[in-house]
Amino acid sequence: MTQAAPRGVAILGPAPPDRGGIARETALLAAELGRRTPTAWFTFSRRYPRWLDPRRFDVDPGLPESSAMRMLDYAAPGSWNRTAEAIVSRGPEALIVPWWTAFWGLPFRAVFRRVARLSPATRRVLLCHNVEDHEGGALRKFLAMGAFLAADGFVVHAAADRARLERLAPGRPSVVLAHPTAALIPPPDSREEARRKLGLSVSEPLVLFLGLVRRYKGVDLLLEAAPEIVRRTRATIAIVGEVFPDARELLRRAEASPVRDRIQWKDSYVSEEEMTLWLAACDVVALPYRAISGSGIAARAFAAGRPVAAAAVGGLADAVEPGSTGELFPPGDSAALARAVETVLARGDDAYAPGLARAAERASWPLYVDALLKFIVDLRSR
Closest CA to 298 of 281, 323, 316: 316
The residue with greater pLDDT, 228 or 381, is 228
**CA 139 to mean position of chain CA atoms:** 24
Q: Confirm whether 9-180+364-380 and 191-362 share one CATH topology.
A: yes
Most confident of 53-57, 76-80, 176-180: 76-80
Give residue limits of the domains in the chain.
Answer: 9-180+364-380, 191-362
SS (H, E, C) the chain: CCCCCCCCEEEECCCCCECCHHHHHHHHHHHHHHCCCCEEEEEECCCCCCCCCCCCCCECCCCCCCCCEEEECCCCHHHHHHHHHHHHHCCCCEEEEEECCHHHHHHHHHHHHHHHHHCCCCEEEEEECCCCCCCCCHHHHHHHHHHHHHCCEEEECCHHHHHHHHHHCCCCCEEECCCCECCCCCCCCCHHHHHHHHCCCCCCCEEEEECCECHHHCHHHHHHHHHHHHHHHCCEEEEECCECHHHCHHHHHHHHCCCHHHEEEECCCCCHHHHHHHHHHCCEEEECCCCCCCCHHHHHHHHHCCCEEEECCHHHHHHCCECCCEEEECCCCHHHHHHHHHHHHHHCHHHHHHHHHHHHHHCEHHHHHHHHHHHHHHHHCC
The whole model's pTM is what?
0.88
- Judged by average pLDDT, the poorest of 43-47, 49-53, 150-154 is 49-53
**In this predicted structure, what is the pLDDT of residue 52?**
65
**In this predicted structure, what is the pLDDT of residue 48?**
74
Whole-number Å distance between alpha carbons of 106 and 180 = 28
Encode pLDDT of 274-323 as tens digits.
Answer: 999 999 999 999 999 998 877 889 999 999 999 999 999 988 998 899 99
Encode pLDDT of 188-221 as tens digits.
Answer: 679 999 999 999 988 899 999 999 898 889 999 9
The CATH architecture of the domain made up of 9-180+364-380 is 3-Layer(aba) Sandwich (3.40)
**In this predicted structure, what is the pLDDT of residue 2?**
44
Strands 9-12 and 94-99: parallel
Mean pLDDT computed over 143-156 = 95
Residue 228 has pLDDT above 70, yes or no: yes
CATH topology of domain 191-362: Rossmann fold (3.40.50)
Closest CA to 307 of 289, 286, 293: 286
**In this predicted structure, what is the pLDDT of residue 187?**
62
Give me Rg for the CA atoms of the chain.
21
Place 51 in a pLDDT band, splitting at 50, 70 and 90. low
Average pLDDT, the chain: 90
Mean pLDDT computed over 324-346 = 97
Encode pLDDT of 56-114 as tens digits.
Answer: 555 666 666 788 999 999 999 999 999 999 999 999 999 999 999 999 999 999 999 99
Whole-number Å distance between alpha carbons of 328 and 354 = 18
